Amino acid sequence: MHPLGVSGNLATPLGIESLHAHGRAGMSDREAFEREALPHLNSVYRFALSLTGNEAVAEDLTQDTYLNALKAWRQYELGTNCRAWLFTICRNLRSRQAVRDQREEPTDAADLESLASAALHAGLSESSPQRGFLDAPELGDVVRAELQKLPEEYREVIVLSDLEDQSYATIVAILGVPIGTVKSRLFRGRRLLQEALIEYARDAGLVARTGGPR
């Protein structure tokens, strides 16, 4: 028997809908899955790419995530954060595949990172005659390239937070790490990215190369 107990066409075996919490009038498991999970394909792929840094591997990971989500579909509670649920599956699969780097964790350095990030910009605004270099159109490519260069643990929180708008609490649940770690990774990752952007902007002449007051 198929793990989901549903056939591939629209006909749903009698009684399936009433057997579990997913019973929504007129909607089979397949329809619910397609409606709730498939629209997040781009997000899952981007998250997978952030974890793997490689398109082909990210495609495989995305496919495995969806196959696993399909198998486990009844564990998902309709109407909750489906995207976060998919991210969690994706992250768990990746953890199983990859031996992750055991780096020294920055602990409780979140507020210091926040300060460091602000200091970066303080120096910059003094040295730069031009405001708003972050609006330069080519910076999109730079961000994508620099994001891929970041260590995976920084990249994944940046993607979850800044692209996918997931809350700290949701990221804690997805990654299974304390909130202090989420914050310090996120803020440090942002700072590293900002440093790279400023470096690029200086080289490209978007901001003044030397420091000091105008």
Partner 1 sequence: MIDCHGVMKQLWEYLDGELPLAESDQIRDHLAMCARCYPQYRHQLAFLALVSRAAAATAPRREFVRRLEAVLASAKDDPT
Q: What is the contact surface with partner 1 in residues (CB under 8 A)? A: 1-4, 6-8, 30, 41-42, 45-46, 49, 55, 58-59, 62-63, 66-67, 70, 110-111, 113-115, 117-118, 121-122, 124-125, 132, 134-135, 139-141, 143-144, 147, 158-159, 161-163, 167-168, 183, 186-187, 190, 193-194, 197
Closer to partner 1 at the Cβ: 21 or 115? Answer: 115
Closer to partner 1 at the Cβ: 84 or 110? Answer: 110
C-beta separation of 86 from 161 below 8 A: no
CB of 178 to partner 1, least distance (A): 15
C-alpha–C-alpha distance, residues 157 and 142, integer Å: 19
CB of 205 to partner 1, least distance (A): 18
CB of 101 to partner 1, least distance (A): 22
Q: What is the CA radius of gyration of the chain?
A: 22
Residue from 30, 104, 40, 119 nearest 70 by CA: 30
Closer to partner 1 at the Cβ: 88 or 164? Answer: 164
Residue from 171, 213, 133, 206 nearest 50 by CA: 171
C-beta separation of 183 from 110 below 8 A: yes
